[in-house]
Amino acid sequence: MQRTIHTIKNLVFAFAIFNLATGCKTTQHPVTSKNVSTIRASIDLVNVKDDKVKVEIQIDNLNSDTISYYLPKIVPGTYQNNSFGKYIDDLKAFDHESNSIYVQKYGDNRWKISDAKQLDKITYWVNDTFDSESSHDVFSPTGSNIIKDKNYILNLYAFVGYFGGMEENKYKLFIKHPSSLEASASIEEILFDNATNTSKNDIDYFAFKRYADVVDNPIMYSIPDKASFKVNDIEVLLSVYSKNKTHKAARIMPQMERMIRAQKDFLGNINSTKKYSILLYLSSAKSDDAHGFGALEHNTSTVVVLPESLSHEKLNEALIDVVSHEFFHIVTPLTIHSKEIHNFDYNSPKMSEHLWLYEGTTEYFSMLFQITQGLITKDEFFERIVGKIEASSSFDDSIAFTTMSKNILVDPYRNSYRNVYEKGALISMCLDIIMREKSDGVYGLLDLIKNLSVRYGIDVPFDDKELINAIEEDSYPEVSAFLQTHVMNNTPIDYEFYLNKAGVLYGIKNAPSSYFIFKQDPFVTGSEVTKEVIFTSDIPFNSFLKELGILEGDVLLSINKKEYNLNNIYDLFGDSNKWKIGDEITFRIKRNNEIMTLKSNVTKPTVEKIILEQDPKISEQQKMLLKKWIND
């Protein structure tokens, strides 16, 4: 027996291992009306070739003449087309005698396989996305990484696909990896006997109920740097890859534990996961490394990408903002979600109308819990609301939020996606204030979400068109009216009106600004592709740029005959410090491919700044509402 197991292990990535896992198979099987065979996938992280890893997929009992194999065009939580099939090379199909079967590729993500009844396996090679980000727009935490013998970021949908009509089939996944590397994930590894394997490699085995579970369980392989802790009944894993060992999991963990403990206290009895994993990749930010910083939520984990160069304090700040948002996704959309999400179509997706719920409410909770749990001050909370209002003002307020959500993958709506984090959070804030006012402070947005969690839950998706009625049944007609007016339709929100209900004054003042930056927000950015300097801002331009006539999207060519591009973009800040009030100045810009000259005199730049502060004449009713709202 010992010798037999040893022999099989040496043949694992000739894929005899699958017979060990599922029983021996003959060359013919009974044909069934619906194929329910378990799909067996293998990923080889040892024999990396040209920065690519090999994947093999095995399937039994196909009863159709042809079948298509797909990699996702899009996955839940990304809201943009990424077409992971573009990173697949040399896909081949074989019968049980290892003879080739004809395969034809259609588009980026589909391979049609002929003579499917004879199909035994397909093989292909997978490229990663981190080292080629200048040539595509796959957001780093959504992508993949292959650094041989050091780090692998496996968002599994970038490696393992699905057969058409078989998204509900079970999957068994075997990952061959160097013994020096360990897997970090929320999915539990199934024990697999490597005891007699004399090589320096190990094999991990995972099982999934359906393809959606494959998509939802990222795995990071690296030399272990882990820390774990329990918050009530949730086990939290923090796994860190820092190439230069600048940051360690043990040092980051205390702040993470404090934050998640506060989040769990905020959520109360909402329980939707027993394990949560934070997979943190710290990038060098060089041209061949990830530079899309942020995170992608999964139901029980998050993949986070941040710069390794951050100080310990700045890294903690970034993690609080990023991870707190992702952690709250255990409520939406894990517990509460629409049919479009529950039955997600990875290549012809139908998007839900309610991004304000999935992302807006989540973002709002990531701010609210920090004030209610004493992690930030009232002034800091107000400043974050101001930031949301200012950032939202740069988007088209005439677009109904549900219309934008439903069409988020196409122009012109996809350019408004980031507004779900800005206006989406403000929508949730207004709903919270309305409910607190109507209930004398005792019922708020979190209570509504808890009730919706009971009404629906993980396995009961809602119908998009029925959600507003369900919300009204669990709250107030005024809540439904607000959603109809400001979310289903396009009436702008009067934030001053709602904030005043809680005794918060909304005002405007002119704050001093630099010519090309306000605080840490620049009015320009550089294009890696064209090397152009482009005017773009998350806040309105300062008075000088407005009076000059600059518009977002204008390309700066020169100022007073000095040309600017990506290579000397930082000269703008130094050169503008030498300008004198009243001097004549000439900008040459490109707008819609037309060269334009803009002339003016230098003026002192200011930015209109929103100010929120507690009303010194606050009434008792307002004071009560403010206290119930933010637990001040």
- Rounded to the nearest angstrom, the gap between the alpha carbon of residue 316 and the centroid of all alpha carbons in its chain is 19
How far are the Cα atoms of 172, 303, 304 from residue 188, in angstroms, in the given order?
12, 17, 20
**Domain-located, residue 274:** yes
* Boundary residue ending a domain (303, 320, 345): 303
pLDDT for position 538: 64
Least confident of 166-170, 266-270, 605-609: 266-270
Residue 200 CA to chain centroid, in angstroms?
A: 35
Token digits of residue 332: 């939406």
For 250-319, give the DSSP string: HHHHHHHHHHHHHHHHHHTT----SEEEEEEEEE--STTS----EEEEETTEEEEEEETTS-HHHHHHHH
Kindly report the length of the chain.
632
| pLDDT confidence of residue 179 | 95
Q: Span 414-420, mean pLDDT?
A: 90
Give the whole-angstrom CA distance, residue 322 versus residue 182. Answer: 25
Confidence grade of residue 572 (pLDDT, cut at 50, 70, 90):
very high
pLDDT at residue number 194: 53
> How many other C-beta atoms can be found within 10 angstroms of the C-beta atom of residue 349?
19
Query: Angle at Cα 366 formed by Cα 361 and Cα 368, nearest 5°?
Result: 90
- CA angle, 219 then 224 then 228, to 5°: 80
CA distances from 220 to 121, 141, 153, 208, 249 (A): 26, 12, 5, 17, 14
**How many independent structural domains does the chain possess?**
4
Give domain status of residue 166, yes or no.
yes
611 within some domain: no
Prior bond to 605 cis, omega within 30? Answer: no
pLDDT single digits (tens) 305-351? 999 999 999 999 999 989 999 999 888 776 788 998 888 999 998 99
CA distance 139 to 294: 9
CATH of the domain at 547: 2.30.42.10
For residues 277 and 146, state if they share a domain.
no
Residues 339-348 have pLDDT tens digits of 988 889 999 9
CATH number of the domain where residue 13 is located:
2.60.40.3650
| Farthest CA pair distance, the chain | 90
Rounded average pLDDT over 397-403: 93
pLDDT(200) > 90:
no
Structure tokens at 128: 């990663």
Burial call 575-607: b when 16+ CB within 10 Å, e when fewer:
bbeeeeeeeebebbbeeeeeeeebeeebbebeb
β-sheet bridge partners, residue 563: 558
Same domain, 92 and 149: yes
List, in sequence order, every residue forming a beta bridge with 533; answer none if it has no partner: 526, 556
Q: CA triplet 184, 185, 186: central angle to 5 degrees?
A: 145
Please check whether residues 396 and 527 belong to one and the same domain. no
d(CA 596, CA 628): 54
Q: Is the pLDDT of residue 518 over 60?
A: yes
417 in a structural domain: yes
For residues 264 and 432, give the distance between their C-alpha atoms in angstroms, rounded to a whole number: 19
In a domain, residue 308? The reply is: no
Instruction: Name, in order, each residue with C-beta under 8 angstroms of 410's C-beta and a sequence gap of 6 or more.
Output: none
**Residues 592, 631 within the same domain:** no
The DSSP secondary structure of 155-214, one letter per residue, reads -GGGT--EETT-TTS-EEEEEEEETT-EEE-SSPPBP---TT--SSEEEEEEEESSHHHH
Calpha distance 129→290 (Å, rounded): 8
Q: In this predicted model, what pLDDT tens digit does every residue of 78-118 receive, in sequence order?
A: 888 999 999 999 999 999 999 999 999 999 999 999 999 99
- Asked whether residue 71 falls in the same domain as residue 97, the answer is yes
Question: Are both 187 and 257 inside the same structural domain?
Answer: no
Whole-number mean pLDDT of the chain? 90
**Any domain includes 351:** yes
Confidence of residue 598 (pLDDT cuts 50, 70, 90): very high
Query: Is 247 among the domain residues?
Result: yes
Nearest to 203 by CA among 228, 221, 215: 221
Query: How close are the terminal C-alpha atoms of the chain, in Å?
Result: 68
Same domain, 159 and 92: yes
Together in a domain, 553 and 460: no
- Report the C-alpha gap between 195 and 229 in whole angstroms: 29
* pLDDT (0 to 100) of residue 96: 93
Cβ atoms within 10 Å, residue 472: 16
Q: Is 206 exposed, middle or buried (0-12, 13-18, 19+ CB in 10 A)?
A: buried
Residues 250-275 pLDDT 10s: 999 999 999 999 999 998 877 667 89
Residues 379-390: pLDDT tens digits? 999 999 999 998
Last residue of a domain, one of 203, 222, 241: 222
Return the structure tokens found at 13: 């990535």
Q: Nearest to residue 86, comparing CAs of 76, 75, 72?
A: 72
Question: Residue 148 — pLDDT band, cuts 50, 70, 90?
Answer: very high
Task: Give the pair of three-digit tokens for residue 626.
Answer: 């403010």
Which one, of 276, 159, 132, lies nearest residue 215 by Cα? 159
Packed helices 445-455 and 419-438: angle between N→C axes, nearest 10 degrees: 100
Q: How many CA atoms lie within 13 A of 36 on its CB side?
A: 4
Q: Are residues 339 and 249 in the same domain?
A: no
In a domain, 311, yes or no: no
Tokens of 327: 């952690």
Tokens of 121: 């396996």
pLDDT above 60 for 1: no
Confidence band (pLDDT; 50, 70, 90) for 23? Answer: very low
pLDDT band (50, 70, 90) for residue 17: very low
The mean pLDDT value for 199-203 works out to 73
Q: What is the pLDDT of residue 425?
A: 97
Question: What pTM, to 2 d.p., does this model score?
Answer: 0.82
Structure tokens at 242: 């820092």
Q: 190, 222, 254: which is the final residue of a domain?
A: 222
- The span from the CA of 167 to the CA of 33, in Å, is 16
Partnered with residue 506 across adjacent β-strands are 612
**Beta bridge mates, 599:** 586
Q: Are 225 and 248 in contact (CB under 8 A)?
A: yes
Question: Residue with structure tokens 């040496």?
Answer: 10
Look at phi and psi of residue 268 and say left if phi exceeds 0, alpha if psi is from -120 to 50, else beta. left
- CB 4, CB 196: distance < 8 Å: no
CA distances from 319 to 78, 79, 221, 224, 313 (A): 19, 22, 20, 20, 10
For the cut 60, the answer to whether the pLDDT of residue 8 exceeds it is: no
| Domain match, 189 and 238 both | no
Same domain, 415 and 394: yes
Q: Which domain holds residue 632?
A: 331-503+616-632
Pair (480, 585) in one structural domain: no
Taken in order 106, 89, 347, 461, is the CA torsion positive or negative? positive
Three-state DSSP at 557 gives strand
Max mean pLDDT among 76-85, 212-221, 528-537 falls in 212-221
The residue to which tokens 């403990």 are assigned: 261
The three-state (H, E, C) secondary structure of 515-534, written as one string: CCEECCEECEEECCCCCCEE
